[in-house]
A and B are shown apart, each in its own frame.
Chain A
Amino acid sequence: MDLRIGTEDATLGERAAVDALLGPAAAGPDDERLATGGREARDRRQLLLPVLHQLQDQAGWISPGGLAYACRRLTVPPADAYGVASFYALLSTTPRPATVVHVCDDVVCRLQGAEAICRALTDGFGPALGEPAGEVPAPPAACGWVRSPCLGLCEQGSAALVQRSGASGAPAREQIAPVTLEMLLGLLGGGPVARPPARSAVPQAELGGSPAPELRLLRNVGVVDPASLDSWRAHGGTRALRQALALGPRGVIRELRESALLGRGGAAFPTWAKWEAVAQNPAQPHLVVCNGDESEPGTYKDRVLMEQDPFSVLEALTVMGITCGARQGYLYVRGEYPLAEQRLSAAITQSKRRGLLGPRILGADVGFDIELRRGAGAYIAGEETALFRSIEGGRAEPRNKPPYPAESGLFGRPTAVNNVETLVNVLEVLTRGGAAFAQLGTPASTGTRLFCVSGCVERPGLYEFAFGVTLGGVLEAAGGVRGGRRLQAVLLGGVAGSFVGPGVLATPLTFEGVQAVGASLGSGVVLVLDDQVDIRDGLRRIAQFFRDESCGQCVPCRVGTVRQEELLARLAAGTPLGSPADEARRLDDLAQAMRDASICGLGQTAAVAIQSAVRLGLVSLFTDPAS
């Protein structure tokens, strides 16, 4: 490939950071404009995102020199690499302070005063990075802050992510919750972080209760030491893997079929069908992917599983690999989840050392390895085809299906992909047997489901229930609406889900039950809103979220999410464009075109929550007598 790469110099630090990942550059003519890696380097294109992470962590931004050096090492055109770097929110293509605090102002944190915190930060420290501070840019400070979408710490309280660069020795990414204004101001003043003690994410495990709820997916949380393979083994680790080796791929798929396990990522696709399609595909090699890019606002279940039970996640991915005939698996962890990444990474190292990963798993004649990849701040990367592009080193842009991943997935190979919760369910299927698994729940929704309860409840947290529990039952377990207030609505399934009113408290939270009331379980979000919550404010934040996270490929989503946000801004300001009926028609038209004509689920669901709120009468479109 004939590349023209800029002549800007990378700093020694940037070169070292790239070389730390790719190995030392081959000796050769030191021509800044020449990329000599050839095919071998091009095959490493998939390392572009990890290389960009290295540069970001070292320099605090992707500088022209750093990007040019990365491009030379990987034989990637610089315009192409710039397109990738500028796609992800945790990478910056303009200089940034060494410490950047990402302050969550999303739907859940808003209920805990995030907006007031952001205003106080602006007053006490200065505006967020990139926000107008006058035309003259402020001198580079050591610290800065930005607003962030949901950081997936909703059960802990107000959340922030600290991102650092340079060789300070402090971690490059660190999540903090609950965070206070004083802590944030201290951080931005260059002080150390006093990490608040983490509370248990699983109130059911704490409370006991009678009878004590039987936790299945969460049984290891708080019980097993997430850093110790032996501790995990002592609590039943490897049992499912041994069972899978004994049953063989056909046996595992048979059990999965009997279990009627459906995917928990939102699409509710039968897991056995997905795995079988890959296992039977004659094209080789096969690949498997665990989707740990959980980013749906209000969702934190996969984070808890990855942080607290990392060996089980690896075991489940290994079962998936040997069942689907794959020797290589990828585990894509959300970039905002440093603790999950660190624990999974340590668990992979231990598992390799102890023969749970590698050429002969548990001594059997079957090999499997896992590569961990870190996301870089993009909700859309959780869409499966976008996830593949991201692992391949591209912009996380989804593509049209068909072809489906089982036919052409990661690197164009037959690929099975499941999210963390679905995979951990597979362990249950194998240890209990498919038929026994199916006995719990309803015929159409088998097993248990994790619910991320947040908002105005007494005990927010991650709850596990057998399918069939009602919405009211979940609320009751979480201690009911906080302060005994009146329930206004519940946002069910995340911002891609719907608002439901108090009228559906008796609805069983099964796939079929929520479908009957026009909602979806989505990622298991149960965001409780009491009668004091301003729903308009939440809707506006949801519209902003989709506008921020749209990848920008297709017109209905790229421009539709902007027009939808503008409409909600007008709603907040009480300044309709034309008559209220015009605005209602506009909103419906946008919703229909986004749903019908967008490439992927992001655009297709970008209007669902907003429309459901209007339908429920939680907001009225410009028809308030007051306005």
Chain B
Amino acid sequence: MTATGSGILPRLVTCSIDGRPVAVPEGSTVLQACRQQGIDTPTLCYLETLTPVNACRVCVVELAGSRVLVPACSRRVEPAMEVHTDTERVRTSRRLVLELLASSVDLALAAPEVRGWMARYGVDPGRFGDPVAPSHSRDRAAAGHHQPAPAHGAQSCAQPVKDDNPSYVRDYSRCILCYKCVEACGSDAQNTFAIAVAGRGFDARISTEFAVPLPDSACVYCGNCIQVCPTGALMFRSEHELRGAGAWAPERQTVTATICPYCGVGCTLELHVQDNQIVTVTSPLDHPVTRGNLCVKGRFGYQFVQSRRHEG
């Protein structure tokens, strides 16, 4: 049981999940209660270190007495709450959320468990038709009236990759608009506010002001957005180039934990190494100091390690 700093155990709240009584500390979310029970609940926009935005809706559960389904990630457990996680309504909504995403966004690089959920809920990504041609004008889409939908094909977020800086690339064809990067760039971590959601509806997108390239924006290249991106829309340049060359091989990678050499904070770095080359740098989400966040030096300043130049 989780204890607070003062050693006082928090009050327990009892609810029922799928017919079984469950006691969780007061203030817990339905998601935490489900996970405590070992009930695998899909999540996409949820991350322990960020404020829940409950935008993806893949974690919805049925709540007795509630007209609509509720997001498990942000709904707090109340006494006597009756939660159902596997009803027909829950399965349909979860399947539809995944089908709608898979039909509009490239999920090929999403975490492996996403494919597991798609299999579990019987997702058919092609049921809304073949994707229409990629758009080159998503960054300029105005709010309000849009071109009428085509009578053939499914509209998608497919668009050219944004490759405008030395550190990372942005492929918004893969963006599910989970808001994680915006939160990591903003008040949940970095307080840089280089990106925000712009536009409206299906035209909503992650953007700098007037979609200016990153070097013209407030971006400080901390890479904390890459760390939280769940679909590979944000990617280290090193990974992007290796993938482009067909040489990206996670099975040949090792992870070495070390301490960042640059300053006195002592952030833990995880160096992902492939063929004796550092390819990406992360930090553990549960690290008490970094909570997964790093600065530009820790994230991208590793080239000196592998300098092969022999002095003298």
Q: Which residues of A contact B (CB under 8 A)?
A: 1-4, 6, 64, 67, 77-83, 86-89, 91-94, 128, 130-132, 146-149, 377-378, 395, 400, 540, 543-544, 547-556, 558-563, 565-566, 568-570, 572-573, 575, 577, 582, 586, 589-590, 592-593, 595-599, 604
Contact = CB atoms under 8 A, between A and B. Distances in A.
A594 to B, nearest CB: 8
A400 B53 CA distance: 9
A551 B57 contact: no
A400 B69 CA distance: 11
A400 B191 contact: no
Contacts of B310: none
A552 B145 contact: no
A94 B199 CA distance: 12
B312 interface: no
A80 B193 contact: yes
B93 A593 contact: yes
A423 to B, nearest CB: 26
A93 B211 CA distance: 11
Interface in B140-197: 140, 142-155, 176-177, 191-197
B74 A149 contact: no
B217 interface: yes
B143 A590 contact: no
A595 B67 CA distance: 9
Contact of B207 (A83, A544, A559, A572): A83
Contacts of B212: 6
A130 B199 CA distance: 15
Interface string B108-152: 000000000000000000011100000000001011111111111
B198 interface: yes
30 contacts: A2-B191, A4-B217, A6-B209, A77-B193, A77-B218, A78-B209, A82-B207, A87-B143, A89-B144, A146-B144, A147-B145, A149-B144, A400-B54, A400-B71, A544-B148, A551-B204, A552-B197, A552-B200, A555-B100, A555-B176, A556-B57, A558-B202, A558-B204, A559-B101, A559-B103, A565-B148, A570-B151, A575-B152, A592-B89, A598-B68
B58 interface: yes
Contacts of B71: 400
Contacts of A595: 68
B274 to A, nearest CB: 34
A562 B53 CA distance: 22
Contacts of B196: 77, 79-80, 82-83
Contacts of A565: 148-149
Nearest to A5: B218
A544 B150 CA distance: 12
A92 B140 CA distance: 10
A219 B127 CA distance: 55
A598 B96 CA distance: 12
B154 A563 contact: yes
Contacts of B32: none
B55 interface: yes
B60 interface: yes
Interface in B87-109: 89, 92-93, 95-97, 100-101, 103-104
A77 B191 CA distance: 10
Contacts of A395: 197, 200
B104 A130 contact: no
B17 to A, nearest CB: 19
A146 B145 contact: yes
A3 B54 contact: no
Contacts of A400: 54, 70-71, 74-75
Q: Indicate the member of B54, B93, B103, B209 with the most A CB atoms within 10 Å.
A: B209
A117 to B, nearest CB: 15
Contact of A3 (B151, B153, B197, B218): B218
A327 B146 CA distance: 42
Contacts of A130: 142, 145
Nearest to B75: A400
A569 B148 contact: yes
Given A89-B142, A147-B145, 6 more contacts: A87-B143, A558-B204, A562-B155, A566-B128, A566-B151, A599-B55
Given A552-B200, A559-B103, A597 B127 contact: no
B201 interface: yes
B26 interface: no
B56 A93 contact: no
B111 to A, nearest CB: 17
What are the 5 tightest A-B residue pairs by CB atom distance, in nearest-first order? A552-B204, A89-B144, A77-B193, A593-B96, A573-B151
Nearest to A593: B96
A555 B176 CA distance: 8
Contacts of B191: 1-2
B262 interface: no
B82 interface: no
Q: Indicate the member of A87, A94, A559 with the most B CB atoms within 10 Å.
A: A559
A554 B197 contact: no
B207 A562 contact: no
B135 to A, nearest CB: 12
B199 A87 contact: yes
Nearest to A546: B201
Nearest to B217: A79
Contacts of A77: 193-194, 196, 218
Contacts of B104: 559, 562
B241 interface: no
Given A79-B209, A83-B207, A586-B128, A548 B197 contact: no
Contacts of A128: 145
Given A146-B144, A554-B57, A548 B207 contact: no
Contacts of B144: 89, 146, 148-149, 377, 548
Contacts of A87: 143, 198-200
B169 to A, nearest CB: 19
Contact of A4 (B127, B147, B207, B218): B218
B143 A88 contact: yes
Contacts of B145: 89, 128, 130, 146-149, 548
B100 A94 contact: no
A8 to B, nearest CB: 9
Nearest to A582: B127
Contact of B60 (A146, A561, A596, A604): A596
A34 B207 CA distance: 22
A588 to B, nearest CB: 9
B143 A89 contact: yes
B203 to A, nearest CB: 7
A342 to B, nearest CB: 23
A566 B155 contact: yes
A598 B57 contact: yes
A562 B149 contact: yes
B53 to A, nearest CB: 8
Given A552-B200, A562-B104, A597 B151 contact: no
B147 A589 contact: no
A119 B97 CA distance: 37
Contact of B199 (A78, A131, A149, A552): A552
A131 B147 CA distance: 7
A372 B156 CA distance: 39
B151 A83 contact: no
Contact of A550 (B60, B176, B202, B208): B202
A81 B209 contact: yes
A15 to B, nearest CB: 18
B198 A86 contact: yes
Interface in B215-255: 216-218
Contacts of A561: 201-202
B210 interface: yes
A63 B191 CA distance: 25
B197 A83 contact: yes
Contact of B92 (A131, A146, A577, A596): A596
B44 to A, nearest CB: 8
A559 B198 contact: no
B234 to A, nearest CB: 15
B201 A79 contact: no
Contacts of A593: 92-93, 96-97, 100
